[in-house]
Homo-oligomer: A and B are copies of this chain.
Amino acid sequence: MINVGVLGATGAVGQRFVQLLADHPWFNLQTLTASERSAGKPYGKVVNWRLDAPYPDNVSDIVVTPTTVESLKDCDLVFSALPPEVAASLETEIADAGIGVCSNARSHRMDADVPLVIPEVNPDHLGLIDVQRDRGREGFIVTNPNCSTIVLALALAPLRSFEFHDVRVATMQAISGGGFAGVSAMDIYDNVVPYIGSEEEKMESETVKIMGSFDGSEVTPASFGVSASCHRVPVIDGHTIAVWVDVKEPVAEVKKVYANFKSPFSNLPLQPEKAVELLDPPDRPQPRLDRNRGRGMTVSVGRIREGLRFVALGHNTIRGAAGASVLNAELICSRKYL
């Protein structure tokens, strides 16, 4: 068992981390950090549990520590749900102190020697851990992409057998993506908000890094372009995206590569049976009905049609955040980086 901690354990993503790690077969959850105000108290007393799934009782008595390097001395690996302004320097400190960091924060995603990884898409990018170590870092930072980027990159992965240059994507994103208090009800109820700060830029830059090629020392971004239009809609969980790609192959051929898409792994605990699942009915995927496929780790794809157009969907706080980091950690372990 590997001793792990969660940084920022009381927020929306932090609670998902706790949920996924409470009974994890490989990880021993022993450290939970939060703000100074909560430090010193049992997690069960300070967390305002807002997930609709049951609260894992075995973490209730863990005494919350402040979010500092010192608090993590017994951890081999930590999961970061920190806000970017805190994550930027603290994650560096932690990694330099010899601890592995699997981060959902955006701060280091685009750093040259930090892998931005989705296990089923670019597992080889983990090789950047060696680059970090070569320059003397004892721990490491591994990041997962932004929630909507993960849905897009997984949905594009089966298409890599074809050639394409242009990707256009319109997102319909869930309110949980803004955290528990991030989106006011007056702003989103009976409404669509056609703007999410920095989201389009993240989708455009992160997607090509993930799908870029790694030569053992650096990642060369993929050569296709991404043009995103991001919108918030009144849905609790699950980002839906409408995608156009200039693939020349006929629709039937495209459907085949989706139907045959296989994850390259079979031994990671959180890995779903299908990382990408093709749905047949003409009106799917739908967030309320499909977001929990594969325990929230499957990206559903449907409506593949001329254009080439399709619709994809993924659970933004599981596959798109906490689950992404945990799956990365599982891959890191199975590849003996820990």
Contacts and interface: CB of A to CB of B under 8 A. Distances in A.
B303 A195 contact: yes
Contacts of A1: none
Oligomer: number of copies: 4
Interface string A181-197: 11111111111111100
A242 B194 contact: yes
B286 A191 contact: yes
A189 B192 contact: no
Interface string A213-237: 0000000000000010101011110
A interface, size bucket: 35 or more
Q: Which of A176, A240, A292 has the largest count of B CB atoms less than 10 A from its CB? A: A240
A137 interface: no
Interface in A61-109: none
A252 interface: no
Given A184-B183, A185-B189, A229-B311, A54 B194 contact: no
A94 to B, nearest CB: 29
Interface string A260-297: 00000000000000000000001111111101110000
Interface stretch (A31-39, A138-146, A167-175): A167-175
A115 interface: no
A50 interface: yes
Q: Which of A54, A195, A293 has the largest count of B CB atoms less than 10 A from its CB? A: A195
Given A168-B168, A170-B229, A172-B172, A181 B189 contact: no
A54 B286 CA distance: 14
B286 A192 contact: yes
A17 interface: no
A236 B190 contact: yes
Interface in A124-176: 168, 170, 172, 175-176
Contacts of A227: 244, 307, 309
B181 A186 contact: yes
B54 A234 contact: no
A111 interface: no
Interface of A: 12, 49-54, 168, 170, 172, 175-176, 178-195, 227, 229, 231, 233-236, 240, 242, 244, 282-289, 291-293, 302-303, 307, 309, 311
Q: What 7 A-B pairs are tightest by C-beta distance, nearest first?
A: A170-B170, A195-B283, A229-B242, A191-B288, A194-B311, A170-B242, A185-B185
